[in-house]
Amino acid sequence: MKLSYYRLLPLALTLALANPLAAQTLLYWDTNGSNPGATDGTTADGIWDVNQTTNWNVSSSGDAFGTRSWVQGSQAIFAAGTNATGSSLITIAGSFEIPSLVVEEGNWTFSDGSLALSAGAYFDIATGSTATFDATIKPNSSGFLTIEKRGGGNLTITSVFSESPNWTDAIISDGGILIFRGAGAVGTDIGRVFVGRSADGNLSVVDGASFSTNTIFEFQVGATAGVSGTLAVSGTGSTLQSNTSALDVGFNGTGTLNVTDGGMVTSASCALASMPPGWVTG
């Protein structure tokens, strides 16, 4: 006997309701329920928590299934639809470990709480968009932290981004500008730094931020042939200290180093254009 579509539908619905979303689900920020887009205006302020608010949707358009609560381990995408083009504030209530955070449009500030980045995690900020983190970015459950910046938009970190005794495995800037801004932006025990590895990248330490490495691994600006990297340290109190074997500007690509307005760079050693066809400007 064949079951009809109409007899199967209730069974499928029952199974769907009985099985929560799995980790690695794409969840889109959505503050206006089943209405299209992420908001009824251009901003989408809200609270990012677990099992309390329903500010997420599995629909990229924001209008198919209605909103739901956050699922730990999901990829966070800002936002559903295309209308959250203004400046929005996300208050993080708690601590989350995520495989990626994507900003598709608009300008987003993340405050309070903390985010941990799982292995292979990245930030992808679209050209013309920004993301600012006043929230703490901390190592994952394995004790490691990698901050990989993709996309043409800017990612600004104003908070502590590593916590002893854990350490930051790598900082990677591939596209747009990765900015550490202000006296609250403190990073220590950073293992590897690549500015411009698979795409042109820019790393800026500004307005009193502090950034240091203390291992023997790589610090490469313009890491790959055909790719450009720019390292800028600017403003009184802004410091970058490289205790690696070398701060390598123009390693195999084009590297630029700019130190201005009271910024300071110290390094155990410095190499310029160490691998052909490396090139240095600045």
- Residues 53-93 have pLDDT tens digits of 999 999 999 987 789 999 999 999 999 999 999 999 999 99
Let me know whether 180 and 266 are in one domain. yes
**96 in any annotated domain:** no
**16 in any annotated domain:** yes
Q: How many residues does the chain have?
A: 282
- Domain end among 39, 70, 86: 86
Residue 15 structural domain: 1-86
Let me know whether 2 and 82 are in one domain. yes
Let me know whether 249 and 143 are in one domain. yes
**107 in any annotated domain:** no
Its pTM stands at 0.85
Let me know whether 251 and 175 are in one domain. yes
| Separation of alpha carbons 57 and 212, rounded Å | 39
Let me know whether 190 and 272 are in one domain. yes
Overall number of domains in the chain: 2
**108 in any annotated domain:** no
- Domain end among 86, 103, 134: 86
| Separation of alpha carbons 181 and 185, rounded Å | 6
Q: Poorest-confidence range of 105-114, 130-139, 216-225, 227-236?
A: 216-225
Section 104-122 average pLDDT: 91
Strands 144-150 and 167-173: parallel
**94 in any annotated domain:** no
Let me know whether 141 and 258 are in one domain. yes
Let me know whether 61 and 132 are in one domain. no
Let me know whether 121 and 239 are in one domain. yes
Q: Poorest-confidence range of 136-140, 197-201, 278-282?
A: 278-282
Section 176-183 average pLDDT: 91
**6 in any annotated domain:** yes
Q: Which of residues 87 and 176 earns the better pLDDT score?
A: 87
Judged against a pLDDT cut of 60, whether residue 17 lies above it is answered with no
Let me know whether 132 and 241 are in one domain. yes
Let me know whether 58 and 179 are in one domain. no
| Separation of alpha carbons 265 and 25, rounded Å | 42
Q: What would the two tokens of residue 220 be? A: 């490469």
Which residues make Cβ contacts (< 8 Å) with residue 18, sequence separation at least 6?
none
Let me know whether 261 and 130 are in one domain. yes
Let me know whether 146 and 269 are in one domain. yes
